[in-house]
Chains A and B, each alone.
Chain A
């Protein structure tokens, strides 16, 4: 079926620690997996994506890992800061040509304690 789900609904970390947010997916036909961050009162904001034929991609303080064997996606945030407190969504993109559809997971609330 079509579903993107999360292992943990909430995550609380200390400032400066590393955070790991996990996501499971069920559809192997997705060509990209994407992480979004949603701060309170705002719409989701793109963080990083990873193509389905890759297993790791790094950005600024963030790393996304993709394990296709177990259909698992994770977002690692290094040196977590209070400004990282938000809900994080994983999403998968499916489609072809110029026609794509994003399916989002339910989200993980990350709270960073000072």
Chain B
């Protein structure tokens, strides 16, 4: 069965721009979580969607938003990009109640 797919793999944006990242979860998984990974802060939780509803949210500013579609695919959007938003953005899907989260390879965002 196909794994979690994130697109694009790499992205370079300019400060002030906005960006949309996409995540296709494993078939049948309804929970999709997003994480930001940086060398200094590690893996930080952004938000989690389940059945098109945001269920949990981390401590990120409102510039970070997301959504989930009826087929469980999810997108996250970052508006008014800042240099500090440069990071690896990881998406993970899981089945209901499972401890195992399946991660995609991530989208490497560089803000210049």
Contact = CB atoms under 8 A, between A and B. Distances in A.
5 contacts: A32-B99, A101-B48, A102-B33, A103-B45, A105-B42
A67 interface: no
A101 B99 contact: no
Interface of B: 4, 33, 35, 41-45, 48, 50, 55-56, 90, 92, 96-97, 99-106
B87 to A, nearest CB: 13
Interface string A90-114: 0001000111111111110000000
B43 A43 contact: no
Contact of B99 (A49, A99, A104, A107): A49
Given A43-B4, A104-B42, A105-B42, A49 B103 contact: no
Contact of B55 (A46, A99, A102): A99
B43 A44 contact: yes
A30 B43 CA distance: 18
B43 to A, nearest CB: 4
Contact of B100 (A42, A49, A97, A99): A49
Contacts of A34: 99-100
A28 to B, nearest CB: 18
B100 A46 contact: yes
A100 B102 CA distance: 14
B48 A46 contact: no
Contacts of A44: 43, 90, 92, 101, 103
A101 B92 CA distance: 12
Contact of B103 (A32, A45, A100): A45
Contacts of A45: 103
A45 to B, nearest CB: 7
Nearest to B58: A101
A17 B35 CA distance: 33
A99 B57 CA distance: 12
A107 B42 contact: yes
Nearest to B33: A102
A46 B92 CA distance: 11
